[in-house]
Amino acid sequence: MSEKKNNRRDFLFTATYAVGAVGAGAVIWPMIDQMNPDASVKALASTEVDVSTVNPGKTITVLWRGKPVFIRRRTPEEIAEAKSVKIEDLKHPEKDEDRAKNPEWLVMLGVCTHLGCVPLDQKGDFNGWFCPCHGSHYDTSGRIRKGPAPTNMEIPEYKFVDSNTIKIG
């Protein structure tokens, strides 16, 4: 008799806690999720860039989703240098062909994968980019070669709309 009573009470407690937890979660989640990117931020997803004026050996920087994107028209020497690197020498092994579909054009996020600074063009030990914040060196393919950054600079989704226009995003 008394055991049965206890079971009934235990059930009520458990059910109350469970409903309370679900209710608390339902209140907390909107409070957390409101900090995620809002609709207006998400709407700025893609951007088109005219690259007709970019000569070989030049880089332009465009803003996409608030971040810089480097569009570099690489010289033949740079392409050769990027291709000649042995894949096993790389901290984050990626072939140059996979990073630059059209080897003349390197399109990548100009954001150091260490802590998000913008690396400087044509600097560092590998003729590519150098991040002034904590000393990461990238090669002519934007691959990490030396320093604290864990991965190569990211390649965003992009395509050539025509021979002079790149659509990023």
Q: Measured from the CB of residue 20, what is the shortest distance to other proteins in angstroms?
A: 26
DSSP H/E element including 78: helix 76-84
Chain mean position to CA 125: 23
Phi, psi of 18 (to 5 degrees): -65, -50
The reply to whether 92 belongs to the active site is: no
Which residue in the set 51, 54, 90, 133 belongs to the binding site for other proteins (CB under 8 A)? 133
Stretch that binds other proteins, among 17-25, 59-67, 72-80, 98-106 (CB under 8 A): 59-67
Q: What is the DSSP letter of 87?
A: G
Phi, psi of 64 (to 5 degrees): -135, 125
| Six-digit token string for 127 | 């003729």
Q: Please, which of residues 88-117 interact with other proteins by CB under 8 A?
A: 114-117
Catalytic positions, please?
A: 134
Residues that bind other proteins (CB under 8 A): 32, 35-38, 41, 61, 63, 65-68, 114-120, 131-135, 147-150
